Chain A
Amino acid sequence: MGAEVIPARVKIGQRRRFPLEAMQAYLFVLPAVVIIGIFKVFPAIAAFYMSLFKWDVIQGAFRGFGNYTDWLYDNSLRSPDFWRSLSTTFTYVILTVPLEIAFSLVIAYLLFQKIRGRGIYRTAYYLPYVTSFVAAAVVFNWLFHPQYGLVNALLGVVGIGPQRWLDEPSGFFQIVASAFGIALPEWAAGPSMALVVVSIVTVWHYLGYQVVIFLAGLSNISNEYYEAARLDGASERQIFTKITLPLLSPTTFFVFTIATIGALRSFDTVFILTGGGPLDTTRTVTLLIFKTALQQAQFGLGAALAFILTLIILLFTLVQFRVLGRRVYYG
């Protein structure tokens, strides 16, 4: 890696200079090695160590993988919480990632046309991303306020009754169906209204970021393809589906991967908007880790859960690369 940069003729003096250069190189990487070693690598090893013990306030008996099996199946108080939070986490991924990609792809494509005011639009779309989630949550908590919220006021105009939004544990499909007088069974209730609102806010927050990445991807597609297509008399729609989409697939795949990992790992968004409620319907795995470790003082169980999540993210990323990565068209 990087060795090819050094021209061949330098190699004559290499043997004499090598120790000096290596010493110097170590000095160059030393600050990074120390910081990453102490604050990233060491804590990861320590967390794994903790996860092997009963660590209830203080270090207790060695449990092997007991904390892991507690979460997976062994403990009737823990494992239902785990599976439920895992399903909430995946629901959150399904609610946010496709929407983010669809919206940002369309907007990026439109912005890529030669139109006036592109900079202004881009700024508007990008603003949410630089806004801290704490501040965004203050505003959204209020827009979706059950009594004073603007969203309920707007719905009132079109004759829809007020909703509880972030305080609503009932399923989204259930609520929509009941508006038409249909009672849905519990298994078809869908994600809680609260989780849907959290997802909307998440999409809002990351939209501009995805737009920018798609714009970069679009600008990497050589203009010759478009010109050739136009000479052949292709329509705008054909150009989009036959040229833009396939050539953009590496970018789409990249956005898909990082958005998915981001959603699987997200904490701030949910924690600040709902804290996991109502009725634990927005409690994702990361929130469960937080509760277990830092509110119940079960450090061993918390660390084990964190490693289960790491493993899930890793597996997910690998599968994504294997299954989807192959279909990506690299031109």
Chain B
Amino acid sequence: MATVARTFPRSTPRPRLRIRGRTIALHAFLIVVALAVAYPFYFMVTSSFKDLLEATKNPPDVFPAQLHPENYIEAWNRAPWGRYFVNTIFVSIAVTIGELVTASLAGYAFARMRFPAKSVLFIVFLATLMVPSEATIIPNYVLMSPSRNGCLGLPCLGWFDTYQVQIVPFIATAFSIFLMRQFFLSIPSELSDAARMDGAGHLRFLWSVALPLSVPALITAGLVTFLGSWNAFLWPLIVTTKPDFRPVQVGLSAFRQEAGSSYHLLMAASTFVIAPIVLLFLVAQRYLVQGIARTGIRG
């Protein structure tokens, strides 16, 4: 794991394939696999522009005979998508910011400060990664339910159908703390010495030296968190019921029931649900790829 945790140098010279024929075969193989992997996306987008009759044609046309962009309008109007998107964007951004703050602070403390019970706390944090969410989903669910008698000895939070129910439990994860700690550990101690000579405290050093140096790590952790939050499904499904608070993934799942066999509309809805995160990924691809290589998070 230690090997993986290192970043891969982009400039490493690679073994070169010598024979031209093999290069062609290589490309052929990669293209075939890439087509197989990417075909569902092509299929989704083209189907979203067909009418129902053409969309259910078997075998399907490669390209719609006539473009029906109005499918998007119809699909959009059949569910409160605007609301769903606002909810998802708000929740994802809030979770991302919250997690970056908690992870930076705690990661810094674990990396560069001394305090009693540090190792114990760190081990407890890492242990939470081992317990599957299925084990805790029931008590968490009860904890969120409306309060009158108290929940399992604690006051119930009564957070069903709110934003905080989708945000607060996720603004600190052992993983991000671990990631940030690794980064802060790699900052040369000369820098902190110099800062201390200048009379800068930990908070000042964190803010003006450590964080600016860790921008790649912050972007990485932020993107991974954002992706996880954007695609969250089971938890918001259980704890929200009003469209006012539901995220797009739950909305899409509900739309699948409601649209029934209107496949062309389903494809249009799937396309606009996926589009923002795909665009974000294309823009920020480099950081995300580095981030995965560094942390090995599987969403």
Chain A nearest CB, measured from B152 CB (Å): 5
A243 to chain B, nearest CB (A): 10
B94 within 8 A of A: no
Please judge, given known A-B contacts A113-B17, A121-B34, whether A29 and B131 are in contact too, CB under 8 Å: no
Min C-beta distance of A117 to chain B, whole Å: 8
Is A31 engaged at the interface, CB distance under 8 Å to the other chain? Answer: yes
Given contacts A286-B134, A310-B131, are A220 and B3 in contact (CB under 8 A)? yes
Digitize B112-135: 1 where CB-to-A-CB distance is under 8 Å, 0 elsewhere: 111110110110110010111111
B residues less than 8 Å from A314 (CB atoms): 130
- What CA separation (Å) do A298 and B196 show in the bound complex? 58
A2 and B181 form a contact (CB under 8 A): yes
Q: In the complex, which of the residues B38, B111, B177 contacts A5, with contact meaning CB atoms closer than 8 Å? A: B111
Q: Known contacts being A115-B27, A254-B1, is A204 close to B37, with CB within 8 Å?
A: yes
Closest residue to B277 on the A side, CB-wise? A130
Determine if A62 is an interface residue (Cβ-Cβ < 8 Å): no
Measured CB to CB, the closest approach of chain B to A175, in angstroms, equals 21
Closest to B169 in A: A39
Find chain A residues with CB under 8 A from B4 CB. 213, 216-217, 220, 250-251, 254
Q: A132 to B233, Cβ gap below 8 A?
A: yes
Across the interface, which residues of B come within 8 angstroms of A24, CB to CB? 113, 201-203
Residue A76 CB within 8 A of the other chain: no
Cα separation A10 to B110 with both chains bound (whole Å): 18
Q: Is the CB of A124 within 8 A of B38?
A: yes
Whether B106 and A28, one on each chain, are in contact in the complex, defined by CB atoms closer than 8 angstroms, is yes
Q: Which partner residue on chain B sits nearest A208 by CB separation?
A: B37
Tell me the complex Cα distance, A130–B291, Å. Answer: 13
Interface of chain A residues 238 through 263 with chain B (CB within 8 A)? 239, 250-251, 254, 258-259, 262
Within 8 A of A (CB), among B225-260: 227, 230-231, 233-234, 238, 249, 252-253, 256
Q: Which residue of B lies closest to A136 (CB)?
A: B40
In the complex, the answer to whether B172 meets A32 with C-beta atoms within 8 Å is yes
Interface members, chain B 1-56 (any A CB < 8 Å): 1-4, 6-9, 12-17, 23, 26-27, 29-30, 33-34, 37-38, 40-41, 43-44, 47, 56
Contact of B112 among A2, A122, A153 (CB under 8 A): A2
> Quick check: B140 and A215 within 8 Å, CB to CB?
no
A306 to B137, CA, bound (A): 10
List the B side residues contacting A1 at CB < 8 Å: 110, 118-119, 122
Q: How many A-B residue contacts, CB cutoff 8 Å?
A: 330
Interface residues on A, range: 35 or more
Interface centre among B185, B231, B252 (most CB of A within 10 A): B231
| A207 adjacent to B37 (CB under 8 Å) | yes
Residues of A within 8 A of B273 (CB): 132, 134-135
Q: Which residues of B contact A116 (CB under 8 A)?
A: 27
B53 to chain A, nearest CB (A): 11
Interface membership of chain A positions 1-29, coded 1 if the CB is closer than 8 angstroms to chain B and 0 otherwise:
11101110010001000100110111011
Q: Which chain A residues lie closer than 8 Å to B91 at the CB level? A: none
B169's partner among A26, A35, A217 (CB-CB below 8 A) is A35
The answer to whether A130 and B281 touch (CB under 8 A), given A121-B34, A135-B270, is yes
The answer, yes or no, to whether B171 is at the interface (CB within 8 Å) is yes
User: Is B143 on the interface with A (CB-CB < 8 A)?
Assistant: yes
| Interface residue? A299 (CB, 8 A) | yes
Query: Which single member of B37, B172, B274 contacts A125 (CB below 8 Å)?
Result: B37
Pick the residue among A25, A148, A215, A299 that contacts B293 (CB under 8 A). A215
Q: Tell me if A189 counts as interface (CB < 8 A to partner B).
A: no
B60: Cβ under 8 A from any A Cβ:
yes
Q: Considering the chains assembled together, what is the distance between the CA atoms of A314 and B131 in angstroms?
A: 9
B26 → A minimal CB distance (Å): 6
In the bound complex, do residue A32 and residue B253 qualify as a contact, i.e. CB atoms below 8 Å apart?
no
What residue of chain B has the Cβ atom nearest to residue A17's Cβ? B114
Q: Which residue of B121, B132, B296 contacts A306 across the interface (Cβ within 8 Å)?
A: B132
Decide if B285 is an interface residue (CB 8 Å cutoff).
Answer: yes
Stretch of A67-75, A165-173, A191-199, A264-272 that contacts chain B: A264-272
Question: Given A110-B30, A135-B252, A306-B135, A130 and B278 touching (CB < 8 A)?
Answer: yes
In the assembly, what is the distance between CA of A148 and CA of B26, in Å? 34
Chain A residue at smallest Cβ distance from B29: A110
Contact with B along A269-289 (1 / 0, CB 8 A): 001100000000000001001
Let me know if A46 is at the binding interface, CB within 8 A.
yes
Q: Is A22's CB under 8 angstroms from B115's CB?
A: yes
User: Which one of A129, A132, A142 has the greatest number of beta carbons of chain B within 10 Å?
Assistant: A132
Q: Is the CB of A309 within 8 A of B134?
A: yes
CB neighbours (8 Å) of B249 from chain A are 132, 134-135
Chain B nearest CB: distance from A35 CB in Å? 4
Q: How far, in whole Å, are A262 and B299 apart by their CA atoms in the complex?
A: 9
Name the residue on B nearest A262 (C-beta). B298
Interchain Cβ contacts under 8 Å between A and B, 11 examples: A1-B119, A33-B121, A114-B16, A115-B17, A125-B34, A131-B41, A134-B233, A138-B256, A148-B56, A258-B296, A306-B132
Binding site for B on A (CB under 8 A): 1-3, 5-7, 10, 14, 18, 21-22, 24-26, 28-29, 31-36, 38-44, 46-47, 49-50, 103, 107, 110-117, 120-136, 138-140, 142-143, 147-150, 152-154, 156-157, 204, 206-209, 212-213, 215-220, 223, 226, 236, 239, 250-251, 254, 258-259, 262, 265, 267-268, 271-272, 286, 289-290, 293-294, 299, 302-303, 306-307, 309-310, 313-314, 317, 330
Additional A-B contacts beyond A2-B181, A25-B114 (16; CB < 8 A): A5-B112, A10-B193, A26-B115, A40-B128, A44-B136, A44-B139, A47-B139, A117-B27, A130-B281, A133-B233, A139-B41, A142-B263, A217-B3, A220-B8, A262-B298, A306-B132
